[in-house]
Amino acid sequence: MTDRDRAAGPRRRLRRLQLRLTLAYTLTTLVGVSVLSWLVIHTDGRSWRNAEFDEMLRHAAVSTSLIYYTDAGVQLDGLRDDESTRGRHQVFVLLSRTMIGTPAKGVADGAGKDTTGRTAGRATASTRPTGAAGPRPVGAAGPAGPGGLDRVFTSGSRSVPVSDERIAALARTAMEEDVTVREEVPAGDRTAYAVARPFYHDETQETTGAVVVIGDPGLRMAEHTRLTYAVLTGSGLLTLLAAFTGHLLSGRSLRPAWQALEAQERLLADAAHELRTPVAIMRSSMDVAGTDPRNLPTHLPRIRRATDRLTDVVENVLTRGRLQDSAASFSPVPLRLDQLVEDACGELPPGRLTLTLRLDESVVDADPALTRVAVRNLLDNALRHGRTPGDPHGGAEIDVSVRGHTVSVADRGPGVAAEELPELTERFRSRGGGSGIGLSLVREIAAAHGGTLTARPRPGGGAAFLLALGPAGQARHARAGTS
């Protein structure tokens, strides 16, 4: 398994976690929006239904108030010209046959007209001649008998196909229970609303018939249907927006995990890259010494140098790990920068080295361990690449100075142009002999302190590297901004 395959595992898990968080956020929003939409649609539908029934109840109440009795029988003339019977609702008046008796010619039938075509205004109790047409029986299964109902008035056309048997059943229920009945009844392949209200004889106060009002809910539910479509469309768009927002929020919430994973991968890559060379040198030296133990003293210096380099690599890698860690591992304190640089210069290995120090007293707000690593890497870079050209002994001339918050390390090496510095401060980029991590680590330490690392040509040949640390207090702000 390659390093890329190993890194792909955690990345796939993070992506799956982001998708799960997005899905959970979307489903939660969908459930909430669905419940809210159902409540809105259900409440609005119930409001329209109640409003329709209230209007039908009003028509039924007005119609029953217009029915009265005289000596000639029940009078229906007030129904013809009233608004309650001329609207979009169908109004039926059903009268008990015990009150009609044998109706005579002229009794109301159909839509307010008798069988001769004259407008009818009443139903009488006179004897019907042989062959005369009388009130239309409703709901009778056979010959008319006691307790049957006749429809004596109908308003408008039969736009809602409710059966005569159902209308008669509603009227009988209202009369027998002496209550107003409101129901949803079948009307072909749809449903209609029905209200039945009984009416009474003026003198005996007996229940003599009922008014049945039939309404078509489709005529009034168009507004409810439009609201339903609007709510469902809005819910769908809101769910899509929630999914998009959830994906963004889950990505932001997982950003620290992504950064930690990338930092871990960089740390492992640095360790693997930097440890490979000194370990190989030590192994080859040991193999050669093993073949001829008498030459072991000649290989010990090479092994010691590889060990020193290995120590530096481990320290640099651990330092990079600290920089990539949380702000808790970064502890800037007031620090005498000149004394720290002087101590670092005192740790340089003895040899053909010309060292010049120009140290002004300076106090900075910095992390002592990180600053020491940065100064040591600059000195190591000067020793490794700053040897004086033409010196047969490979001696180095290094000039170190501290002024304010800036540390300058200058050498007499081949020099470096300012435009080459970004390339040299990338990881694993070295012009020879170095680890390729030193200058990049110095740049990161400078950035953590709110400072910079710059390079410029040195007068007379060579290069000068300037490590500028931020003023007191700026290091904390710079670290907080990158954490």
Average pLDDT (442-471) is 86
The residue type found at 69 is Y
The yes-or-no verdict on residue 435 having pLDDT over 70 is no
Distance from C-alpha of 245 to C-alpha of 243, rounded to nearest angstrom: 6
For the chain, count helices (H), then strands (E).
12, 16
3-state secondary structure of 185: strand
Average pLDDT (240-252) is 89
- The share of the chain scoring above pLDDT 90, in percent, equals 25
Closest C-alpha to 470, from 455, 444, 449, 445:
449
The residue type found at 385 is H
User: Of 304-308, 411-415, 423-427, which range is least confident?
Assistant: 423-427
Distance from C-alpha of 209 to C-alpha of 269, rounded to nearest angstrom: 97
The residue type found at 94 is L
3-class secondary structure for 355-415? EEEEECCCEEEECHHHHHHHHHHHHHHHHHHCECCCCCCCCEEEEEEEECCEEEEECCCCC
Distance from C-alpha of 286 to C-alpha of 140, rounded to nearest angstrom: 118
User: Of 56-60, 341-345, 435-439, 456-460, which range is least confident?
Assistant: 435-439
Q: What is the pLDDT of residue 307?
A: 78
As a whole number, the mean pLDDT across the chain is 76
Q: What angle do CA 152, 150, 83 make, to 5 degrees?
A: 30
Higher pLDDT, 342 or 223: 342
Q: What is the pLDDT of residue 397?
A: 85
**CA 24 to each of CA 233, 241, 348: distance values in angstroms, whole numbers, following the listed order:** 21, 14, 59
Q: What is the pLDDT of residue 459?
A: 81
* Band (119; pLDDT cuts 50, 70, 90): very low
Burial class (CB in 10 A: 0-12, 13-18, 19+), 316: buried
3-state secondary structure of 94: strand
Q: What is the pLDDT of residue 115?
A: 34
Average pLDDT (47-71) is 90
Check: CB of residue 363 under 8 Å from CB of residue 339: no
Average pLDDT (462-472) is 83
Higher pLDDT, 171 or 388: 171
